């Protein structure tokens, strides 16, 4: 589906800026931060303001177009796809997607409450860093 149509279908007016931000997220699944997105787009959108990136992501979040993932005091964003967990390496800070079914982590113990979001994150040393780096 075209970006404009998809935004429209989710209740977001598809301005040029919003489409560019959405498309950046669509093409980059490495959990970018506001800084990443702003840095990547500011050359081709010279008037872009960081506040606009914040505002747009907040809007996308409300409309459930993106998912927010807060790791070490910084928000990372990902377009909404299947539920999955995340592993972040304490050494290289890469965030890996980890397959996980939502049903698997939502059980009777929590269903007394109304769940709007589930976040499962692991931290540690990733496979790659274990093999190539000495971490003391």
Chain positions contacting DNA, by CB under 7 A: 13, 15-18, 33-35, 45, 47-52, 54-56, 58, 70, 73-75
Per CB under 8 A, 92 contacts its own copies? no
**Cβ-based neighbours of 132, under 8 Å, separated by 6 or more:** none
Q: Tell me the closest approach of the beta carbon of residue 28 to DNA, in angstroms.
A: 16
- Does residue 71 sit in helix, strand or coil? strand
Residues in contact with its own copies, total (CB under 8 A)?
34
Choose one: 9-17, 23-31, 38-46, 101-109; the region binding its own copies (CB under 8 A): 101-109
- Whether the CB-CB separation of 78 and 61 falls below 8 Å is answered with no
Closer to its own copies at the Cβ: 1 or 112? 112
25 is in the binding site of which of DNA, its own copies, none (Cβ under 5 to 8 A by kind)?
none
Residues 51 and 73: their CA atoms lie apart, in Å, by 18
92 is in the binding site of which of its own copies, DNA, none (Cβ under 5 to 8 A by kind)?
none
Compute the chain's Rg from CA coordinates.
Answer: 17
Q: How does strand 74-79 pair with strand 84-89?
A: unpaired
Dig out the tokens for 57 from the structure.
């992501």
Dig out the tokens for 43 from the structure.
């050359």
**Contact positions vs its own copies (CB under 8 A):** 70, 72-73, 85, 87, 89-90, 96, 98-100, 104-107, 109-110, 112-127, 130
């Amino acid at each position: 589906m075209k970006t404009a149509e998809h935004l429209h279908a989710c209740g977001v007016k598809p301005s040029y800026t919003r489409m560019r931000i959405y498309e950046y997220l669509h093409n980059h699944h490495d959990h970018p931060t506001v800084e990443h997105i702003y840095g990547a787009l500011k050359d081709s959108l010279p008037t872009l303001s960081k506040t606009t990136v914040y505002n747009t992501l907040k809007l996308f979040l409300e409309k459930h177009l993106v998912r927010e993932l807060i790791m070490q005091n910084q928000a990372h964003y990902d377009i909404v796809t299947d539920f999955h967990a995340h592993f972040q390496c304490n050494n290289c800070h890469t965030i890996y997607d980890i397959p996980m079914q939502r049903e698997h982590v939502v059980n009777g113990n929590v269903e007394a409450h109304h769940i709007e979001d589930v976040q499962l994150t692991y931290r540690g040393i990733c496979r790659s860093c274990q093999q190539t780096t000495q971490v003391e």
